[in-house]
Structure 1
Amino acid sequence: MIKFLLMMSRHGKLRLAKWFDSYTERERQKILRDVATLVLAREPSWSNRVDYPGLPEGIGNGSGSGRLANTPSVVSLGAAPRARLVYKRYASLFIIACLDGACADAGMNELLAMDTIHQYVETLDRYFGNVCELDLIFNFPNAYYILDDMLTAGEFAESSREVVLRSVEASDRMAGQERDDKPRA
């Protein structure tokens, strides 16, 4: 399961963040700092995945059931990583997906996450026509809408770019129609 998906510039500016688990604002800021430190400093020749043991458990995601809130968890040296970051760089943007450590070991592999990232970028590219960072800055609701159509609750839901694009274009037509229907003063 994907815990979150981030789009960051190579300078560490957050361009898009989609959280599939609940985290407090403090935890989100810690995650953003950690991810920027781990991913942005890596050499291009290195692997596109990195273990992320510092992921907070989040609120109500079921991963801390049976544990008291203030009791620290014990991590053994041979334990699976809490999370795994899979990322891909496109021009000046890094797209980073965080996989649950247990899911990564149980079959949700990094290649599927890389393919999900690539599908998302190809869909954005088709929608915007040669997408760039400015398209995401000024049209972020459309980027979120496309991501929501592709991923549901952290799982890959729709693999067809055409289906996603038709849905977004229908939404655009309805939004345009609503703007035209409003009385002008």
Structure 2
Amino acid sequence: MIKFFLMVNKQGQTRLSRYYEHIEIHKRTMLEAEVIKHCLSRSKDQCSFIEYKDFKLVYRQYAALFVVVGINETENEMAVYELIHNFVEVLDKYFSRVSELDIMFNLDRVHIILDEMVLNGCIVETNPNRILAPLFVLDKVAES
């Protein structure tokens, strides 16, 4: 099961965070700071899976952004690694070459995409067309 999903820039600023289990706000900030420190300090040659406390971290870097997912021990690391890539591909398809600014100024759209893919910590959809269908409907309504 997925515990949390983060998007962080190279300066360590969180651009997106979604938690699938309750964690108090002050503990979230401490957790994010530690997780970011662990992931950003690793070289590109090192593995993208880290055992951390009572869960695992799976991360991928895309230009200046890191996508970090916290999972429990039973979750498949490679499936989550591919989920991260699929998520970024869907963002690329929607925003046509997604950037950090797209994420910052369209955070609601990014959350909708993530919610279509992950429900209560479980991966529920990976088909880009099905994931983007609700957003295209919203865009058509906004144009009208």
- 1:30 aligned residue: 30
For structure 1, the 5+ residue unaligned runs are: 54-81, 178-185
User: Quick one: which amino acid aligns to residue 5 of structure 2?
Assistant: L
| Consecutive aligned runs of 4 or more in structure 1 exceeding 6 Å deviation | none
> Which whole-Å CA distance do the structure 1 matches of 2:37 and 2:4 have between them?
17
> Matched residue pairs, number?
144
- 2:77 aligned residue: 110
> Which whole-Å CA distance do the structure 2 matches of 1:147 and 1:114 have between them?
15
Superposed CA RMSD: 1.0
Identity between Structure 1 and Structure 2 (%): 32
1:166 aligns with 2:133: yes
1:95 aligns with 2:56: no
User: So what's the TM-score if we normalise by structure 2?
Assistant: 0.96
1:157 aligns with 2:129: no
For structure 2, the 5+ residue unaligned runs are: none
> Which whole-Å CA distance do the structure 1 matches of 2:40 and 2:119 have between them?
27
SS state of the match for residue 3, structure 1?
strand
Cα distance, 1:166 vs structure 2: 1.5
Cα distance, 1:37 vs structure 2: 1.3
SS state of the match for residue 46, structure 2?
coil
User: Quick one: which amino acid aligns to residue 141 of structure 2?
Assistant: M
User: Quick one: which amino acid aligns to residue 154 of structure 1?
Assistant: G
- 1:83 aligned residue: 55
Cα distance, 1:26 vs structure 2: 1.2
Cα distance, 1:167 vs structure 2: 1.6
SS state of the match for residue 60, structure 2?
strand
SS state of the match for residue 92, structure 2?
helix
SS state of the match for residue 29, structure 1?
helix
1:94-128 Cα offsets, whole Å, 9 max, x none, are: 00000112x2xxxx211000011011000000000
SS state of the match for residue 61, structure 2?
strand
User: So what's the TM-score if we normalise by structure 1?
Assistant: 0.76
1:43-72 Cα offsets, whole Å, 9 max, x none, are: 11000010111xxxxxxxxxxxxxxxxxxx
Please give the residue correspondences for 1:1-185 in structure 2 after superposition, counting only pairs within 5 Å: 1-53=1-53, 82-101=54-73, 103=74, 108-177=75-144
Larger % of strand: which?
A: 2
Cα distance, 1:165 vs structure 2: 1.2
SS state of the match for residue 103, structure 2?
helix
